[in-house]
A and B are shown apart, each in its own frame.
Chain A
């Protein structure tokens, strides 16, 4: 644990405070961090990444809640396991393959364009890849399972008679959702959100392949620093900024929902 996680991070932390000037002289400095604030492209990507990650988390939650509710409460218990396996199925192939699958569907000469042209809805193919919306679609798709599974497990423990009792006492569908189901499912929702948020924030593949050059993700900036510019010091500084960002947002999320990290992680 110490060797695998803490040690490399300490090394990166030290590196992020080292600055190599043009003569190759290495010295202690905050310049790496200051660079981040000086260059708008850096912090704009940073903010963009944060906001989009929150958006992806929220969208995933909005889609996952009905799915989880359907699996636990509506469908015949016989098929519950089957449906969960169905959700799991895409994860048997690597993320790379899944993303390429989407690209085959969405690209200019792809399957969807082909059908839309055949049906006469479009006159000429449109490029659906390399847009923000496409990237968000890809990220939500990748994250679904990590939201559905924790929500399914908390909804499983929700007694059906609570829903019926609320209905009997005069509540409508929305009141039941907001007063009974969501409060009960909060620990699952929060733990799912943390996982989805962190995975999205740190995702490199999907934004890179589906978002392309038009949708820059902060991980791409880090990659660029490490690999393209060989500036490991700057890269580590960015890495730490991302770590701080995710910690602050998770902490904020826990505070807002009044949840305990220990309880949520269980």
Chain B
């Protein structure tokens, strides 16, 4: 496996605000790598450093094994797709795409051929002479991608390019972008604050918070085995309890929550009795009215406060008896639970393997 992009201990600070703090990662050639984080976490700064628009304060950035320090953006084998695409309104579609090729001094015949090929590849054949403002949002998106891909960069950087699109189009572009990446085989580094974009498209996702990488993993592992409380809460929905360890071995622990309920959960490391912990539980990990034959479940009762219908993503908003916390519980739309009404008292059960437990610090 060849490494397309290697970032080593990169740090960047603006005045006394550290935007990117000692970040290191490798991206394999041909893979789709996402950096996921809330706004202001430093992901755009990181991307601009890879593109060369910002210089890192320390650390190195290598592309295909070559150090990029001190090399200006127009000489780097990477291209950036900007958040608002930055298509040149003074040029038509063909000229926009040819812009980079012209700068390389390629002949007219080759430029024309390449522009034609790439337009076909993004399903915009015959759009050469259209003006930028005649295009729809999705078409602009594809022109921006074509304008970069035609240069055959070692790494294509994407700065939340779907952010400006409406929901339906965004869902559609997510799938298209993933397909396109698989087809052209270019390495994509994609930054976003939208976890669904990152999870759907990526081979690897790095979760970034306050300038540092919390975890780099496959989307499945991020969701199922988060390594930090931030990842557990940021990727997917989670219910959080605070509690205290009562008993613990190296695999499971018995936890007493603040309101006195006792749960069994798996742990990743052995914790001392009395240690304070945060317990996270996915909405879909909680079973509504589980079968009594399932004996190994943690069981407790809740009062239903509201039914949040959202199609396949429907939830129950509930609170446990004797506690004023709110829980989100997945409500499968199998008609099996249609009897549940507001203010009903129901039993909830969850398997100890689905609990995620972190010591609080």
Contact = CB atoms under 8 A, between A and B. Distances in A.
B99 A184 contact: no
Nearest to A160: B86
Nearest to B75: A170
Main secondary structure on B side of the interface with A: mixed
Contacts of A161: 82-84, 86
B321 interface: no
Given A169-B151, A170-B151, A162 B86 contact: yes
A162 B88 contact: yes
B73 interface: yes
A263 to B, nearest CB: 14
Nearest to A183: B90
Interface residues of B, number: 24
B74 A171 contact: yes
Contact of A166 (B84, B99, B148, B151): B99
A162 B99 CA distance: 12
A168 B53 contact: yes
B103 interface: yes
Contacts of A171: 74, 99, 103
B84 A170 contact: no
Interface in A137-182: 159, 161-162, 164-172, 175, 179-180
A169 B82 contact: no
B86 A164 contact: yes
Contacts of B73: 164, 167-168
Contact of A165 (B72, B82, B103, B151): B82
B51 A168 contact: yes
B8 to A, nearest CB: 22
A164 B53 contact: yes
Interface string A189-221: 000000000000000000000000000000000
A159 B100 CA distance: 19
B79 interface: yes
B335 interface: no
Nearest to B52: A168
Contacts of B148: 169
Nearest to B157: A168
A171 B96 CA distance: 12
Contacts of B75: 170
B50 to A, nearest CB: 11
Contacts of B82: 161, 164-165
Contacts of A166: 88, 99
A178 to B, nearest CB: 11
B90 A169 contact: no
B84 A169 contact: no
Nearest to A173: B74
Interface string B195-212: 000000000000000000
B74 A170 contact: yes
Nearest to A175: B103
A161 B75 CA distance: 18
B282 interface: no
B183 interface: no
B104 interface: yes
A180 B74 CA distance: 15
Interface of B: 51-53, 72-75, 78-80, 82-84, 86, 88-90, 99-100, 103-104, 147-148, 151
Given A169-B74, A169-B148, 14 more contacts: A161-B83, A161-B84, A166-B88, A168-B79, A169-B79, A169-B99, A169-B103, A169-B147, A169-B151, A170-B75, A171-B103, A179-B99, A184-B89, A184-B90
11 contacts: A161-B86, A164-B82, A164-B86, A165-B80, A165-B88, A167-B73, A168-B73, A170-B74, A170-B100, A170-B103, A172-B74
Q: 6 closest A-B pairs (Cβ-Cβ)?
A: A165-B86, A170-B103, A169-B100, A161-B86, A183-B90, A161-B82
